[in-house]
Chains A and B, each alone.
Chain A
Amino acid sequence: KQEVTQIPAALSVPEGENLVLNCSFTDSAIYNLQWFRQDPGKGLTSLLLIQSSQREQTSGRLNASLDKSSGRSTLYIAASQPGDSATYLCAVNDMRFGAGTRLTVKP
């Protein structure tokens, strides 16, 4: 059974810092991996989707990479802002989610 892990569970950084969030999965037979943002008490917002055949996707200050052979994906956030504060979740094949990383960006 596919297991998805996100470490760390929480991260606090000063504004302007570049940061990396990690997502690990146990079964490399995936067809996509998605990164989401969740604000408190809200649903999830899709940030980036990487198909199995792709290595990375970029949107604005966000860059997500995928390495199936090592079972890892990273979400890179450049020049972090207080508005980036939220919980970030990754999901494999629409069905397996990590527990998320709670990010706080301090002004």
Chain B
Amino acid sequence: DGGITQSPKYLFRKEGQNVTLSCEQNLNHDAMYWYRQDPGQGLRLIYYSQIVNDFQKGDIAEGYSVSREKKESFPLTVTSAQKNPTAFYLCATSQRGGGLKSSYNSPLHFGNGTRLTVT
């Protein structure tokens, strides 16, 4: 059954600790994305990757880091430098990377999210 798995569903951390959120996909999609959603707001792009071993910053990359060593995996680390880390984090994939003509008809597919609470 193809899909995107985000784990864990809920995550609690103390302030000052780094934490890594997992995103795994078996859709064989090239592009992967991380978004953050705060209550009553739309999604904001943190990082995205169009191909293995390459990734670009989104609008709010400060305090976050990513890696893309495998096509299937795109983990997100929330570092202690992120001032307001408590949020709902969503991972998405698309068949082709954004900005390419071949991606114009490639919809985003989302995981079920990880809710991170930092106290």
**Residue ranges of A at the interface with B (Cβ–Cβ < 8 Å):** 4, 6, 9, 31-32, 34, 36, 41-46, 49, 51-52, 89, 91, 93-100
Q: Which of A43, A51, A89 contacts B112 (CB 8 A)?
A: A43
| Complexed CA–CA distance, A84 and B58 (Å) | 31
| Tier of interface size on chain B | 20 to 34
Minimal beta-carbon separation of A23 from chain B (angstroms): 11
Residues of chain B contacted by A45 (CB below 8 angstroms): 110
| Complexed CA–CA distance, A98 and B107 (Å) | 16
Given contacts A31-B99, A31-B104, A51-B105, contact A99 B112 (CB under 8 A): no
Q: Which of B40, B92, B101, B107 contacts A49 (CB 8 A)?
A: B107
The 8 A CB mask of B44-60 against A (1 = contact, 0 = none) is: 11001000000000110
Instruction: Tell whether, in the assembled complex, residue B44 and residue A46 are in contact, meaning their CB atoms are under 8 Å apart.
Output: no
Q: Closest B residue to A6 by CB, please name it.
A: B42
Residues of chain A contacted by B107 (CB below 8 angstroms): 34, 46, 49
Given contacts A31-B99, A43-B90, contact A52 B42 (CB under 8 A): no
Instruction: Tell whether, in the assembled complex, residue B105 and residue A99 are in contact, meaning their CB atoms are under 8 Å apart.
Output: no
Instruction: Tell whether, in the assembled complex, residue B42 and residue A97 are in contact, meaning their CB atoms are under 8 Å apart.
Output: yes
Q: Closest A residue to B88 by CB, please name it.
A: A41
Closest 3 CB pairs of A and B: A97-B42, A43-B110, A46-B107
Q: Which of A6, A9, A42, A95 contacts B58 (CB 8 A)?
A: A95
Instruction: Tell whether, in the assembled complex, residue A91 and residue B105 are in contact, meaning their CB atoms are under 8 Å apart.
Output: no
27 A-B Cβ contacts within 8 A?
Answer: A6-B42, A9-B40, A31-B104, A32-B104, A43-B92, A43-B110, A43-B111, A43-B112, A43-B113, A44-B43, A44-B108, A46-B109, A49-B107, A51-B104, A51-B105, A89-B42, A89-B43, A93-B99, A94-B48, A94-B94, A94-B103, A94-B108, A95-B45, A95-B58, A95-B59, A97-B35, A100-B42
